[in-house]
Amino acid sequence: MSAILIAVEGPQAGDWLAALRDSAKGREVLAWSAGADDLSRVSFACVWLPPRGLLARIPNLKAVINLGAGADHLLADPDLPDVPIARAAHADLTMRVTEYVVLHVLMHHRRQRLYDGQQRERSWRVHDQPAASEVAVGVMGLGVIGAHAAVALAGLGFKVAGWSRSPKTISGVETFHGPAGLDAFLARTEILVCLLPRTRDTEGILNLALLRKLKRDGAAGGAFLINAGRGALQVDAEILAALDEGTLAGTTLDVFQNEPLRVDSPLWSHPKVTITPHNAGDISPRVFAPHVIAQIERFERGLPLDNRIDRTKGY
């Protein structure tokens, strides 16, 4: 049986190796290390943020499994071999990101940052609280995760819309698509949730001009941004400008241009910014590893990979 190479950057590397070895039914699973030279036994690579050029060094590579949802890092490798690439799309990951989105939409909706500040001052003051049904949430990206998050938010009673590249029909969610649908989507949105992939078309999309198109005079009392898509979608300086001029009343950012976020970034200390360390959704290696092995077995039987990346679309 052909071997699997695993190359994972980050704290989950050991968990991925153990989980894939446990699921591999005796198949050889090699952990990549900088000194590894004989990669000729490898047919499949399971990767998260692998070093540039690594995949090109595997002479008999048949397919790549990206162990995260977004494959932008892989696609940016100029030496990426021309083999099929699948990405992680699984209920475990979808639910984790949905939890994150619901948590932060509710945090802004229920003004939790305001009440946290009051608690520090031992101040007992109640503020007006609109119902969810009065507040318009908009989800950019209606893929596996965005569509699920949109439906969950609609289930809480919010007025939910979504924006995608191609037209969609989702029960309980108003849908917009394409560049032509963007302004109308923004004009009705008070809490904007971004779950877009990073592509040539989406880089820098969360800029001041776009944020100024959001609805500020709605029941939420201002416009809010939650970005759990990719850091390259947001222009940090313009987000800060939007906060300072009142275009945004608050933001939650999980992803950044450069991760980890630099210690001297002004985002850390801005009173209207909530920061999390790209943890909206880390898929569980134990849960996903059996699916990775099943994908590989199906592929060896001649079936196509599920959740294959379309290189022309860039996601």
Name the residues annotated as catalytic: 230, 278
3-state secondary structure of 181: helix
Query: Which range touches ligand NDP (CB under 6 A), out of 7-15, 56-64, 142-150, 153-161?
Result: 142-150
- Comparing CB distances to ligand OXD, the nearer of 93 and 107 is 93
238 scored as a contact of ligand OXD (CB under 6 A): no
In angstroms, the Cα distances linking 58 to 32, 54, 81, 126, 234 are 11, 7, 9, 62, 34
Question: Residue 291, interface with ligand NDP (CB under 6 A)?
Answer: no
Which helix or strand (DSSP H or E) is residue 166 part of?
none
Considering the complex, what minimum distance in angstroms separates the CB of residue 117 from ligand NDP? Answer: 26
Q: Quick one: tokens of 295?
A: 């994908």
- Beta carbons of 252 and 206 less than 8 angstroms apart: no
Is 192 or 195 the residue whose CB approaches ligand OXD more closely?
Answer: 195
Would you count residue 150 as binding ligand NDP (CB under 6 A)?
Answer: no
Interface with ligand NDP includes 230 (CB under 6 A)?
yes
Q: How far is the CB of 147 from ligand NDP (least distance, A)?
A: 7
Which member of 50, 222, 231, 281 binds ligand OXD (CB under 6 A)? Answer: 281
In 3D space, the residue among 302, 311, 310, 296 whose CA is nearest the CA of residue 46 turns out to be 296
Rule CB under 6 A: is residue 229 a binding residue for ligand OXD? no
Q: Quick one: which segment of 1-9, 222-230, 256-264, 298-306 binds ligand NDP (CB under 6 A)?
A: 222-230
C-alpha distance from residue 294 to each of 54, 181, 298, 309 (Å): 24, 39, 6, 18
Q: Which residues 6+ apart lie within 8 Å of 39 measured at CB?
A: 5, 57, 58, 59
Residues making contact with ligand OXD (CB under 6 A): 68-70, 88, 93, 281-283
